[in-house]
Amino acid sequence: MSDTKHNWTKEEILEIYNKPLMELLYDAATIHRKHHDPNTVQVSTLLSIKTGGCPEDCGYCPQAARYHTNIEGNDLMSVQQVKAQALRAKASGSSRVCMGAAWRNVKDGAEFDEVLEMVRTINKLDMEVCCTLGMLTENQAHRLAEAGLYAYNHNLDSSEEYYKEVISTRGFEDRLETIDNVRKTNVTVCSGGIIGMGEKEEDRAGMLVALATLNPQPESVPINALVAVEGTPLEEQEPVSIWDMVRMVATTRIVMPETQVRLSAGRTDMSREGQAMCFFAGANSIFAGDKLLTTPNPDVNEDMEMFKLLGLNPQKPFIKKMQPETVEAADSQFQSLGEKPKWSRPDHTIERNEQAKEKAKTLR
């Protein structure tokens, strides 16, 4: 059974967050090396398949229809357009494509059917497929799983207390419900948040409490630094300090040891030295490409240059960190089918080989 702690308190997490920096880094790096290869980083590409026109009022988001930003909206991309972008991402070193649509919630119909076909298409390219489409019902989560979805992203954004200061069109509980619906399938969960929105340290700790007390914890946790966009309510926010990002990454690594911690939005304002500290502190996943949906991101060639400098290697697809109890559940499901699973699982790392990928379709 896992020794992962699921009953973290805000006070415990704040104590970790506020440790002397050198001690915090040492503790986080030690835990990181226990559960992960410190020289391997997952590279993902985030693709906006439907941009702008969202009815929500998220204070950080330039895609909200009510804000006057310079974002050009577009209708849902075609399957062929998405496939071309996925092939380009794969050629540049990405092992995962995450498709984002500016929807409040998924609506059954022609557009959702198109998204399902996109998932099937990218899956055939031997790449992990992630989606972030807004709120999901249990039935929709199962349909995505059947299409071959690998991960679903649904960020909590902040603490439950501060959440209402940023968003009023959707409740914190709505986000947890979507995560719960995803957990009823074999799709992995990607959920994190944003720092630099005017929140206090207590709110950062509160967000980590909400994530770390989930059982199992999310397989991926993106840590975003706010990119203040003109025309949004948060346009005047000062950029978050690199030291705050390092502390947030390190704390996340300590409280969610087996999770992939993703260094997400805001990397364009970080030096290579700052990003290197984040990798040392436990970040082992990034988004590559010149845009994250609509906000700037470092060029993929710059990232590959940084990887070479730091001796980092891109992670292969279909390798994921899971809680041991999740591994045992997968083993049990295989055995119920009368077959022995062929997992490669040092330190609870599961490599989904061809046999595992085919069987996953049965488990869905």
Same domain, 20 and 166: yes
CA distance 135 to 207: 19
- Flag whether 2 is in a domain: no
Same domain, 169 and 224: yes
Which segments of the chain does DSSP mark as H helices, in order?
10-17, 21-35, 79-91, 110-123, 138-147, 160-166, 172-183, 201-212, 242-255, 272-280, 300-310, 324-336, 354-363
CA distance 341 to 211: 29
Query: Quick check: helix, strand or coil at residue 9?
Result: coil
Q: What is the CA angle 230-59-140, rounded to 5? A: 125
Q: Are 117 and 154 in contact (CB under 8 A)?
A: no
Query: Quick check: helix, strand or coil at residue 271?
Result: coil
- Flag whether 34 is in a domain: yes
pLDDT at res. 72: 63
pLDDT at res. 141: 95
State the maximum Cα–Cα separation within the chain, in Å, rounded to a whole number. Answer: 60
* Type of residue found at 49: I
Q: What's the total number of domains in the chain?
A: 2
pLDDT at res. 300: 77
- Flag whether 3 is in a domain: no
Give the residue numbers spanning the domain of 283: 10-320
CA distance 8 to 22: 23
pTM of this prediction exceeds 0.85: no
Same domain, 310 and 333: no
Same domain, 195 and 256: yes
Same domain, 281 and 346: no
- Flag whether 339 is in a domain: yes
- Flag whether 4 is in a domain: no
CA distance 288 to 129: 15
Same domain, 277 and 331: no
- Flag whether 1 is in a domain: no
Same domain, 218 and 129: yes
- Flag whether 257 is in a domain: yes
Same domain, 281 and 327: no
pLDDT at res. 169: 80
pLDDT at res. 65: 54
Q: What is the DSSP string of 195-214?
A: E-SS--HHHHHHHHHHHHTS
Q: Which residues are catalytic?
A: 54, 58, 61, 98, 130, 190, 262
Which CATH number belongs to the domain containing residue 152 in this structure?
A: 3.20.20.70
Same domain, 281 and 302: yes
Can you say whether the dihedral through the CA atoms of 113, 116, 121, 122 is positive or negative?
Answer: positive
| Token code pair at residue 216 | 């199992």
Q: How far is CA 104 from the centre of its chain?
A: 18
CA distance 11 to 18: 11
- Flag whether 332 is in a domain: yes
Same domain, 268 and 344: no
Same domain, 342 and 230: no
Same domain, 316 and 326: no
Could you list the pLDDT tens digit for every one of the 364 residues in the chain? 456 889 999 999 999 999 999 999 999 999 999 999 999 999 998 888 887 666 676 666 666 656 556 666 677 889 999 999 899 888 888 899 999 887 777 888 888 999 999 999 999 999 999 999 988 999 999 999 999 999 999 999 899 898 888 777 877 888 899 999 999 999 999 999 999 988 999 999 999 999 999 999 999 999 999 886 777 776 777 889 999 999 999 999 999 999 999 998 878 888 899 999 999 999 999 987 654 445 556 677 888 889 999 999 988 888 764 444 444 544 444 454 444 443 333 333 344 434 444 544 444 4
